[in-house]
Amino acid sequence: MKRDWLTAELNDVDRAICTYVDKLTRTPGAMTTADVEALRGVGLDDTAIHDVCTVAAYFNYINRIADGLGVDLEPEMAPREM
């Protein structure tokens, strides 16, 4: 999963979360209620969906702050290829 979540063996809940987070990260303006409904469809309640969204948004925010300020990666964190 660390290298490519798309080919990892994930259960339905984890795959739905990864799909949601990937879309929120790459194309936030394209998010719709259908994305939330997909999480509900695998059993997540509103609190869990809020938590998924908040954690993903926070990590995206912090990464953009670091990128915008030119913060160097720690030596053990190799850059990811997108």
Average confidence (pLDDT) per 10 residues, the chain, 82 residues: 84 97 96 98 98 97 92 72 58
DSSP state of 28: G
pLDDT of residue 35: 98
CATH number at residue 25: 1.20.1290.10
Residue 33: which domain range?
Answer: 5-69
Phi, then psi, of 29 in degrees rounded to 5: -70, -15
Is position 78 within any domain? no
pLDDT of residue 77: 67
Would you tell me the crossing angle of helices 33-41 and 12-26 to the nearest 10 degrees? 160
User: Which pTM value belongs to this model?
Assistant: 0.83
- Number of independent structural domains in the chain: 1
Is position 82 within any domain? no
